[in-house]
Chain A
Amino acid sequence: MSRAVEESNRAMLRARDAMDRAYAQPLDIPALARIAHVSSAHFIRTYRATFGETPHRYLQRRRVERAMYLLTQTDRDVTDICFAVGFASLGTFSRTFHRIVGESPTAYRRGRAPADVPTCFARAWTRPSSFG
């Protein structure tokens, strides 16, 4: 019995790794279920029992996390980022982003300075300007 659980865990983990690795691809449940070698219905049920959320929800969180990264680390526009992380429509992206993060992609970007530059630069260059 326990060996079966371990095999199932590894199959679910392989599918989760695929979402982490290939989040920008048009991954759907049948494709993920194939990676885990189970039927779609069984996959959704077992994944949720293993990791506490549905595979769909996990993939959305991964895509939103990557979008958060691109919003703060690059100057690509929001539409570009939406498609780059695997969303098929800007409406779905914006709704999902807001539900998970609590603010819109644009507001999120505005509220955060890009990392990886010295703090003195970030403070100087991202301070709201009262002139010009």
Chain B
Amino acid sequence: MTMNAISRSQIYVLDQDEALDFYVGKLGMEVNTDADLGFMRWLTVNLPGDPEREILLEKPGPPALDPATAEQVRELLTKGALGGYLFMTTDDARKTYEDLVGKGVEITDEPTERPYGIDFGIRDPFGNKIRIGQMFPRG
């Protein structure tokens, strides 16, 4: 048995339409699947040209979570304490940074050169952490 790809990751969002405004409208991602399954809205996005790697934008709530647990998830998310952490790469960190600043995206730290590359941090409208890096070749 050999696993060969990470194809889908999941983060919680408080509002899926607002999530689309951010992930598609500001970060430039594409909607991969937007399906009403009845019990939930299955909503995934991917970076342009990379449909094999999707991020599921899941809204915490019943019936998957009881209302009290969903409230706890929402509270942790808005404190920035939930695990949701996305790492993305770019060809030009400083240019991407300027672009996102222009779009009013919340910056958590500015581009910094480190041994592994140049990276900076942003936050989505709900509290999830995102890092965007221009990585140096390894080796």
With A21-B109, A116-B115 known as contacts, the answer to whether A13 contacts B74 (CB < 8 A) is no
Query: Residue A76 at the B interface, CB < 8 A?
Result: no
User: A1-26, CB under 8 A of B: which get 1 and which 0?
Assistant: 01001110110111011001100000
B75 touches A20 (CB 8 A): no
Q: Count contacts on B: residues with CB < 8 A to the other chain.
A: 16
User: Which of these, B14, B80, B110, contacts A13 with CB under 8 Å?
Assistant: B80
With A17-B123, A50-B79 known as contacts, the answer to whether A6 contacts B74 (CB < 8 A) is yes
Q: How far is the CA of A4 from the CA of B115 in the complex (A)?
A: 42
Q: Which residues of B contact A12 (CB under 8 A)?
A: 79
Prevailing SS type, chain A contact patch: helix
A17 touches B106 (CB 8 A): yes
Query: Residue B18 at the A interface, CB < 8 A?
Result: no
A2 touches B127 (CB 8 A): no
Q: Which residues of B contact A7 (CB under 8 A)?
A: 78
Of listed B71, B78, B127, residue having the most chain A CB within 10 A? B78
Q: How far is the CA of A116 from the CA of B106 in the complex (A)?
A: 30
Query: Residue B108 at the A interface, CB < 8 A?
Result: yes
Of listed B71, B79, B106, residue having the most chain A CB within 10 A? B79
User: Which of these, A5, A9, A14, contacts B106 with CB under 8 Å?
Assistant: A14
Q: How far is the CA of A116 from the CA of B136 in the complex (A)?
A: 15
Q: Which residues of B contact A116 (CB under 8 A)?
A: 115
Q: Which residues of A contact B74 (CB under 8 A)?
A: 2, 6
CB distance from B84 to the nearest CB of A (A): 13
Cβ-closest chain A residue relative to B67: A2
Cβ-closest chain A residue relative to B126: A10
With A2-B71, A2-B74 known as contacts, the answer to whether A21 contacts B108 (CB < 8 A) is yes
Complex interface residues of chain B between 86 and 136 (CB less than 8 A to chain A)? 106-110, 115, 123, 126-127
Q: Which residues of B contact A20 (CB under 8 A)?
A: 108-109
Q: How far is the CA of A13 from the CA of B78 in the complex (A)?
A: 8
Of listed A2, A7, A10, A14, residue having the most chain B CB within 10 A? A10
Could you tell me which B residues sit within 8 Å of A by CB distance? 14, 71, 74-75, 78-80, 106-110, 115, 123, 126-127
Q: Which 5 A-B pairs have the closest CB atoms?
A: A9-B78, A6-B78, A13-B80, A17-B108, A9-B79
